[in-house]
Amino acid sequence: MTDSPTAAASTPNAVFSTGFFRDPDFDFEARTALGNAAQGFFDVGLVLATIARVKDGDADSWYVAWRAAADALHAEAEASATAGHQQAAARFFLGAADAYSRSIGFSDAMTDQTLFAPVFALHRAAFDAFVDASGAAAQRVAVPYENTTLPGYLFRPDDSGAPRPTLVLTNGSDGSISSLWAAGASTAVARGWNAFLYDGPGQQTMLFDHGVPFRPDWEAVLTPVVDTLAARTDVDATRLLAYGISQAGYWLPRALAFEKRFVAAVADPGVMDVSTSWTAHLPTAMIDLLTSGDSADFNGGMQQASADPKLAATLAFRRRPYGMSTDFDTYTAVLGYNLRDVVQQISTPLLITSPDDEQFWPGQSQQLFDALPGEKVLARFTREQGANFHCQPLGRQLTEARMFGFFDEQLGRAG
């Protein structure tokens, strides 16, 4: 089945036609920050005041503005903690974590490349301080994974130890761990459920601190997560739910083709083939070089294209988590991130978001919906609702209303 909202307005208002910045990446990040503000990270006014200090498209000014906001939030958090105001401290630490992460969002285009590591450490320290300030209901949970562990966080509504429905949230390619709190974790806990957040291979600490790259077969990641949660007495293993945001719109469905213990799942949005966001802007001649295996000429062509500093920074940022040394190897690896061979094996009921103006994988939510053999919902989000663009950055409450309504229905059917 599919949602059928009223048609999107043909002429969006000024904000939605011109944006907050002319640079599309800056504009998208500003919208994401405002979405997090609506979810309680910080005030909307702070976001507007911060982006007002940013020079359009200038990574250094973006860093300066958001670093100042992060430091101010962190100071508020420490003052609240010292005064014994733990709830306020938790809120400010969460805001500081998001702002620190946001400040290095364009680090590959910054003049000083050495700033990334120490600020990323500040981000994680602020998030850990948020966990600590949240009390005994929040626990760190290490997930065994191959010869190491994945860092995980289980947030519970209280410390009673009662078994609860548990929402497992999987991040995309570059989202921070704190951003998952705004993507559904906080609402799950407010509803009396558990929420589990984690860094997978190629994500955040696993990439930046341990050098572990992405992998396409996410069932090798999600199954250990489920095994770890199912063994806990405070998790109801018969009421597990899953959510995947951004590139996890590929990873989660891929894992669901093999991991069958979830009652229901949400892909935000649906991604049938990750590689299209890489190849869509390649000239036909370059695609021919890639598919024919001509690595030397492909790498040479990419080197010429990288003479553009902005493009070079974008490619460096996107290439890093795949762990490959050349452009040819990276693009070849990304071609393997598709659901064509496994989509018919997915049986978990799946809601797929489908926003107007999807920038990265346009049309793929519909493609995934059409290809799925089992129970499915296509949830449209429109410009008219202010919920357009990738992952509906300014429509997160509407997104959560639909996803949790879907979860409630599926839990009810599962008894």
- One-letter-per-residue 3-state SS of 209-259: CCCCCCCCCCHHHHHHHHHHHHCCCCEEEEEEEEEEECCHHHHHHHHHCCC
Q: State the sign of the Cα–Cα–Cα–Cα dihedral 44, 50, 53, 56.
A: negative
Pairing state of beta strands 194-198 and 164-170? parallel
DSSP 41-58: SS-HHHHHHHHTTSPTT-
* Per-residue confidence (pLDDT) for residue 309, from 0 to 100: 80
Phi-psi region of 184 (alpha: psi -120 to 50; beta: other; left: phi over 0): left
Judge whether 55 and 26 are in contact, CB under 8 Å: no
Phi-psi region of 357 (alpha: psi -120 to 50; beta: other; left: phi over 0): left
List per-block mean pLDDT (blocks of 10 residues) for the chain, which spans 415 residues.
40 58 96 96 97 97 98 98 96 98 95 96 98 94 97 97 98 96 97 98 96 97 98 98 98 98 98 96 94 95 83 82 92 96 98 97 98 97 97 97 98 91
What does DSSP assign to residue 321?
Answer: G
In 42-189, the DSSP E strands lie at 138-145, 148-155, 164-170
* Per-residue confidence (pLDDT) for residue 18, from 0 to 100: 64
* Per-residue confidence (pLDDT) for residue 315, from 0 to 100: 82
Judge whether 232 and 255 are in contact, CB under 8 Å: no
Provide the whole-model pTM: 0.93
Judge whether 232 and 164 are in contact, CB under 8 Å: no
> What domains sit in the chain, N to C, each tagged with a CATH number?
21-135 (1.20.1440.110), 137-274+336-415 (3.40.50.1820), 276-334 (no CATH)
* Per-residue confidence (pLDDT) for residue 130, from 0 to 100: 97
* Per-residue confidence (pLDDT) for residue 6, from 0 to 100: 38
* Per-residue confidence (pLDDT) for residue 17, from 0 to 100: 54
Q: Scanning the structure block, which residue is given the tokens 């390619």?
A: 173
Q: Which amino acid is at 270?
A: G
3-class SS of residue 413: helix
* Per-residue confidence (pLDDT) for residue 11, from 0 to 100: 44
Strand ranges across the sheet with 138-145:
138-145, 148-155, 194-198, 164-170, 235-245, 262-268, 350-355, 376-381
Enumerate residues 6+ apart whose C-beta is below 8 A from 48. Answer: none
